[in-house]
């Protein structure tokens, strides 16, 4: 990719970031101390407090045109019918028409966390382990560390007396962990206003694949979620009285669900594989240098159950091929012990992770057609219905474009290594919203490591990743400005 490149003279910036390390750690500590849990209505005032903290930081750093966008009342289900959504904070640093404009997105809300969940320290009091050089606390890696990272980059430039090489626009939201309510509408509304001259969007809300090698992410799978409803008798029945003399919904459902995917992970619905974009030689080459192994997969899964035994096959099936997973059956007996019930109605849930070039609507048609054909084969008197619960499209960018190449150079400057170019199996829906509404490229530039435990207990961010992450974000802006 970018092995040979003209190195920019930005070492003074990196040196300044090193010098400001204590202040940067203190800034993150203050951010972690605010329990901005968006899913807990009782903590909504704390989410709002976090937005005010950001406004104060932006003001002190010299951002202009800081706007706090109120999003109105949160739609149900809510306990408090008047619950207000947390605001989106916008700010800009510089507005030189001769410079490129970069929009950075991040979120200031976090997942819930309690000490009794199994945390080694208080989740909302940052614990700095100086022997391991690790910062522990809820939000440290997801996403307060990266958000503070962008503020730190501006502070380092201010201290040096350097101008930012680009115009910087920030968009920080407080509902990402609860579905980003209101964000899509705001982006659409501001596309021709606040975000008018944006050339590029950078999101730092993902992680390295492993723990030792930096990555740049150029693709995400989408997700279509379905349910199959099978309804039979008017109430749950006793199998001793009715077993063998009525059509049982559970039997029908299991038969149909068994036709969706085989034990090797192959999707059995006709037409799905044919939609998948063919693998090019150029794309295949990106997998060669990626640092990953079947041992890492088994360690992450906590079992020796991998379906593929080599790195390239594992990663392709995680990132660039679709997968179908069976998630559960609603209405079925699932407790301990032996209960001889025949459920009257069962709902089977499954999802398909989508990839280029799967069209969501065409996929729905293929899924419905296959399931209805399989149900028809049963000649069952039970009632059937198949539904799409929600869908989110895949996203893929060009890893050879200006943004990715600029980020690759910055990564080499800081880490001394060419980053791995990765995709991810999960989804970040906002990526697509920015791309579609603003008509610009999006770059995913992660700060944290694959073992940070973003939604888990003892969430952490290595000090090395935090400080070098700031250098990478800053370096990226300089290389992108010159691209």
Cα(147)–Cα(31) distance, rounded to whole angstroms? 10
The two most distant CA atoms of the chain are separated, in Å, by 84
> CB count, 10 Å around CB of 132?
11
Q: Is 431 annotated as contributing to ligand binding? A: no
Angle at 117 between CA 116 and CA 118, to 5 degrees: 85
Phi, psi for 210 (deg, rounded to 5): -120, -140
- The DSSP code sequence of 228-255 is EEEE-SSS-EEHHHHTTTS--HHHHHHH
Q: Is 340 annotated as contributing to ligand binding? A: yes
Q: What are 153's two structure tokens?
A: 């980059």
Rg for the chain (alpha carbons), in Å? 25
Cα(473)–Cα(157) distance, rounded to whole angstroms? 12
Q: Is 308 annotated as contributing to ligand binding? A: no
Q: Is 142 annotated as contributing to ligand binding? A: yes
Q: What are 168's two structure tokens?
A: 């910087």
Mark whether 274 is an active-site residue. no
**Cβ within 8 Å of residue 299, ≥6 positions away:** none
Q: Is 353 annotated as contributing to ligand binding? A: yes
- Whether the CB-CB separation of 438 and 422 falls below 8 Å is answered with no
Catalytic pick from 57, 143, 176, 462? Answer: 176
Cα(411)–Cα(398) distance, rounded to whole angstroms? 18
Q: Chain centroid to CA 148: how far?
A: 18
Look at residues 76, 137, 130 and name the one whose alpha carbon lies nearest to residue 111: 137
Cα(155)–Cα(140) distance, rounded to whole angstroms? 19
Q: Is 155 annotated as contributing to ligand binding? A: no
Q: Is 238 annotated as contributing to ligand binding? A: yes
Cα(394)–Cα(353) distance, rounded to whole angstroms? 8
Mark whether 176 is an active-site residue. yes
**Overall residue count recorded for the chain in this entry:** 483
Catalytic pick from 109, 143, 283, 437? Answer: 109
Cα(31)–Cα(144) distance, rounded to whole angstroms? 7
Look at residues 325, 330, 296 and name the one whose alpha carbon lies nearest to residue 310: 296
- Whether the CB-CB separation of 364 and 194 falls below 8 Å is answered with no
- Whether the CB-CB separation of 186 and 88 falls below 8 Å is answered with yes
Feature table: binding site for Mn(2+): 107, 142, 177, 205, 455
Active site residues: 109, 176
Feature table: binding site for substrate: 205, 238, 340, 353, 427, 455
Feature table: binding site: 107, 142, 177, 205, 238, 340, 353, 427, 455
């Amino acid at each position: 990719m970018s092995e040979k490149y003209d190195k920019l003279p930005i070492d003074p910036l990196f040196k300044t970031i090193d010098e400001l390390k204590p202040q940067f750690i203190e800034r993150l500590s203050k951010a972690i101390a605010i329990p901005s849990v968006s899913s807990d209505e009782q903590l909504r005032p704390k989410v709002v407090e976090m937005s005010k903290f950001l406004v104060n930081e932006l003001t002190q750093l010299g951002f202009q045109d800081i706007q706090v966008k109120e999003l109105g009342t949160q739609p149900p289900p809510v306990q408090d019918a008047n619950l207000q959504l947390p605001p989106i904070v916008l700010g800009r640093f510089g507005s030189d028409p001769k410079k490129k404009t970069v929009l950075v997105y991040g979120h200031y809300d976090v997942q819930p966390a309690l000490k009794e969940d199994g945390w080694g320290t208080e989740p909302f009091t940052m614990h700095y382990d100086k022997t391991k050089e690790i910062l522990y606390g809820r939000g440290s890696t997801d996403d307060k560390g990266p958000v503070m990272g962008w503020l730190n980059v501006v502070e380092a430039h201010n201290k040096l007396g350097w101008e930012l090489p680009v115009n910087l626009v920030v968009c920080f939201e407080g509902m990402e962990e609860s579905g980003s309510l209101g964000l899509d509408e705001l982006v659409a509304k501001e596309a021709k206003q606040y975000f008018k001259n944006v050339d590029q969007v950078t999101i730092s809300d993902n992680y390295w694949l492993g723990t030792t090698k930096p990555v740049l992410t150029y693709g995400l799978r989408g997700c279509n979620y379905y349910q199959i409803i099978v309804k039979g008798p008017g109430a749950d029945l006793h199998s001793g009285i009715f077993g063998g003399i009525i059509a049982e919904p559970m039997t029908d459902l299991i038969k149909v669900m068994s036709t969706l995917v085989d034990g090797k992970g192959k999707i059995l619905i006709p037409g799905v594989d044919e939609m998948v974009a063919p693998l090019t030689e150029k794309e295949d080459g990106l997998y060669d240098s990626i640092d990953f192994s079947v041992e890492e997969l088994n360690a992450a899964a906590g079992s020796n159950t991998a379906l593929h035994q080599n790195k390239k096959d594992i990663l392709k099936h995680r990132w660039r091929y679709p997968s179908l997973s069976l998630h559960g059956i609603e209405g079925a007996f699932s407790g301990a012990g032996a209960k001889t019930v025949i459920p009257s109605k069962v709902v089977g849930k499954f999802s398909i992770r989508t990839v280029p070039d799967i069209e969501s609507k065409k996929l729905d048609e293929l899924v419905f057609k296959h399931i209805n054909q399989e149900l028809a084969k049963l000649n069952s008197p039970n009632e059937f219905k198949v539904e799409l619960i929600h869908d989110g499209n895949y996203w893929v960018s060009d890893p050879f474009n200006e943004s990715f190449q600029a980020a690759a150079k910055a990564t080499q400057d800081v880490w001394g290594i060419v980053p791995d170019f990765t995709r991810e199996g999960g989804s970040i829906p906002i990526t697509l919203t920015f791309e579609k509404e603003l008509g610009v490229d999006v770059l995913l530039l992660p700060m944290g490591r694959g073992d940070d435990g973003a939604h888990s207990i003892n969430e952490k961010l290595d000090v090395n990743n935090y400080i070098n992450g700031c250098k990478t974000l800053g370096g990226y802006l300089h290389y992108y400005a010159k691209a």
